[in-house]
Structure formats: structure tokens, C-alpha cells
């Protein structure tokens, strides 16, 4: 074999060895790589999840393989789904009072619901309103970050979070508490005009005052309309449920009275007590300032 032939043989052998090494690395990493599902929303946000189930007008995004945590998103607000290859990362160890490494905490729908109820009670807001804002802002993704830098469930800008005393905008409790406080302040600022308060939450109070109302921005107007529609839909559903329950209760009382044996002319039946419809209607209104 000539010297040139030996050199070519050596180069081919080296190339094969490099290819085998690369293949070995890929095969070693293969069990670690997983394909995460990404839901792309109409508002530009994305929600990473394990799997999803379409339930008519609602799509349930499961955040874990065991279905223990999930978030529901309107199906028509999802543009599509994408796959993203990710390598699992281990959380950085942090010191704890007991000296043990804390586990990574996932926030289920029940956790978020408890946080919303607590913050709403603290700032005298309707929880349904706060949930509608969260739905429009982040799709209930506590790790959401907007193109402009807003963070967390209620999408607090870093400067706003600092002013509200929120140290970690990705912590659901801190984020929702700060966002609820800010929303309450805006409601009081605009004499409880919900439309103006929502417009200011989205575009800033200076814009609302500049245009003496909702700014002529498509994003802001669509944002306000989306929240008002979602909030009203909840209230209408609650009113219908209350009316249905009241009707069923009345029919049950009538049926019970008809089934009772007659006792001659013992007197006319007593009048049915007035219903609590007014109380139910009041409960659907955002609490006024105290």
C-alpha cells in the first residue's frame, strides 16, 4: 500500500471513530431527552405541558404525567400545539432550616384557586373577576413572560412588582396578591369603573387619562372586552343556576304540600317564604369600598 493510500485509510478510520463517538453521545442522551408539548395561545403566550385533552369549548392542559395538576384553557384561544425537545434539569440546591434539600413545588388548579380566594378577600374583589384577569393575562401559567417583560399569573411588570412589594413575580401567592392590590387601587382611582380600571391595568393609567377612557389600541380594547365577556359569562351562569335551584326548591315544597293528607277546613296553607334571589344578585356584584 502506498503512503497516500495509508493516509486515506487513517483519515477514514478517524472519521468513523468520531462518528461512532457522536452516535454514542446521542444514544446516551436519548433516554434523557423528552418532547414537551407547547400550547400556543392567541395572546402570544405559550404553556408547556405534558399532555392535553380537548373537552369541547375547553381544553385541559395536564402539567404532569400523573394528571395531578392541570389548567383549563378555552379551546378557541389555542392557536395550535408544538413539540419542544428538552433536557430535564435538576433544581439548584438551596439551604433550608432543616438542612435538607427542598422539593420542587408544582402549583395545581386548587392551589391557584386558594390563592385567588385569599387575595380577593383581602382586597374586597370578586374572585371571578380576578380569575378572569388571570385567564386573559397568562392563561393560568405562573411562569408566563410577555414579550414586554411582564411576569407571572397577573403579568406584573418588574417596576410594578417592585412598587407593590412583590419580590418573586413567579410565586403565585405573591403575584396574585400584588396584582389584586393593584387592580383594587385602579378601581378606586376610577370610581369603580371596571372598564377604565382594566384598560389602565393593560395600557397604564397615563394612557387612560390621556384619552379620557379606554385608549384606541386594538390590544387594550380586545383585552377589556375579553375580560368583561368572561366575567359576565360567569355571572350569568351563576344567576341561571340560582334561578334553577329556586325553581326546584319551590316545586319540591309544592309537591310536599300536595302529598300531605287533607284535614278538612283546617285553614289555608301558609304562604311560602320569600326567596333569596335578591341576595344572590348582590353576591354577583364586585364589593364596593368600605
Q: What is d(CA 60, CA 99) in angstroms, rounded to the nearest whole number?
A: 38
Residue 9 lies in a domain: no
Residue-wise pLDDT for 79-89, tens only, equals 888 775 444 44
Q: What is the pLDDT at residue 25?
A: 42
Active-site annotation holds for 137: yes
The answer on pLDDT for 205 being more than 50 is yes
Residue-wise pLDDT for 137-173, tens only, equals 999 999 999 988 999 999 999 999 999 999 999 999 9
Q: What is d(CA 71, CA 140) in angstroms, rounded to the nearest whole number?
A: 7
For 125, counting Cβ atoms within 10 Å of its Cβ (0-12 exposed, 13-18 middle, 19+ buried), the class is: buried
**Residue 83: which H helix or E strand, with range?**
strand 78-86
- Alpha helices by DSSP H, listed for 77-170, are 109-122, 127-138, 158-163
Which domain covers residue 54, as residue numbers?
Answer: 34-86
Catalytic member of 3, 77, 137, 219 = 137
Q: What is the pLDDT at residue 166?
A: 96
For 20, counting Cβ atoms within 10 Å of its Cβ (0-12 exposed, 13-18 middle, 19+ buried), the class is: exposed
Residue 285's Cβ-side half-sphere holds a number of Cα atoms within 13 Å equal to 10
Do 120 and 222 lie in one domain? The reply is yes
Residue 114 lies in a domain: yes
Mean pLDDT of 26-35: 47
Do 68 and 174 lie in one domain? The reply is no
Do 208 and 113 lie in one domain? The reply is yes
Print the SS3 string covering 109-120. HHHHHHHHHHHH
- At 78, which CATH number? 2.30.30
Residue 42 lies in a domain: yes
Q: Count structural domains, the chain.
A: 2
Q: Average pLDDT of the chain?
A: 76
Q: Which residues contact 153 (CB under 8 A, 6 or more apart)?
A: 112, 134, 137, 138, 140, 141, 142, 144, 172, 175, 176, 179
Residue 82 lies in a domain: yes
Number of other residues whose CB lies within 10 A of the CB of residue 187:
25
CA neighbor of 111 nearest in space, from 66, 165, 70, 164: 70
Q: What is d(CA 19, CA 25) in angstroms, rounded to the nearest whole number?
A: 10
Beta bridge partners of 151: 145, 156
Beta bridge partners of 71: 61
Q: What is the pLDDT at residue 174?
A: 97
SS3 content of the chain, % helix, strand, coil (to 5): 50, 15, 35
> What is the reported pTM?
0.55
Do 124 and 162 lie in one domain? The reply is yes
Q: Phi first, then psi: what are they for 45, rounded to 5°?
A: -85, 160
Query: Phi/psi class of residue 3: alpha, beta or left (left: φ > 0; alpha: ψ in -120 to 50)?
Result: alpha
Do 44 and 153 lie in one domain? The reply is no
Do 39 and 73 lie in one domain? The reply is yes
> Do the beta carbons of residue 153 and residue 130 sit within 8 Å?
no
Do 128 and 220 lie in one domain? The reply is yes
Amino acid at each position: 500500500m502506498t503512503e497516500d493510500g495509508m493516509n486515506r485509510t487513517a483519515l477514514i478510520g478517524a472519521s468513523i471513530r468520531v462518528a461512532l463517538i457522536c452516535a454514542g453521545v446521542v444514544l446516551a442522551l436519548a433516554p434523557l431527552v423528552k418532547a414537551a408539548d407547547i400550547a400556543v395561545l392567541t395572546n402570544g403566550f405559550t404553556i408547556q405541558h405534558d399532555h392535553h385533552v380537548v373537552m369541547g369549548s375547553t381544553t385541559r392542559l395536564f402539567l404532569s404525567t400523573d394528571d395531578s395538576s392541570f389548567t383549563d384553557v378555552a379551546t378557541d384561544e389555542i392557536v395550535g400545539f408544538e413539540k419542544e425537545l428538552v433536557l430535564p434539569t435538576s433544581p439548584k440546591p438551596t439551604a433550608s432550616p432543616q438542612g435538607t434539600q427542598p422539593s420542587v413545588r408544582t402549583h395545581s388548579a386548587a392551589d391557584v384557586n386558594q390563592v385567588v380566594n385569599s387575595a380577593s378577600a383581602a382586597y374586597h374583589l370578586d374572585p371571578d373577576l380576578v380569575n378572569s384577569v388571570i385567564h386573559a393575562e397568562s392563561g393560568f401559567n405562573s411562569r408566563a413572560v410577555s414579550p414586554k417583560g411582564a411576569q407571572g399569573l397577573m403579568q406584573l411588570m418588574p417596576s410594578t412588582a417592585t412598587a407593590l412589594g412583590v419580590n418573586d413575580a413567579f410565586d403565585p401567592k405573591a403575584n396574585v396578591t400584588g396584582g389584586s392590590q393593584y387592580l383594587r387601587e385602579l378601581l378606586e382611582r376610577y370610581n369603580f369603573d371596571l372598564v377604565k380600571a382594566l384598560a389602565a391595568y393593560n395600557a397604564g393609567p397615563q394612557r387612560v387619562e390621556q384619552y379620557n377612557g379606554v385608549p384606541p389600541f386594538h390590544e387594550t380594547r380586545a383585552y377589556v372586552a375579553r375580560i368583561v365577556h368572561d366575567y359576565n359569562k360567569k355571572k350569568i351562569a351563576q344567576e341561571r343556576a340560582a334561578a334553577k335551584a329556586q325553581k326546584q326548591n319551590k316545586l319540591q315544597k309544592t309537591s310536599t304540600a300536595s302529598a300531605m293528607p287533607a284535614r278538612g277546613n283546617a285553614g289555608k296553607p301558609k304562604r311560602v317564604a320569600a326567596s333569596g334571589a335578591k341576595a344572590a344578585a348582590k353576591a354577583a356584584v364586585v364589593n364596593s369600598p368600605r
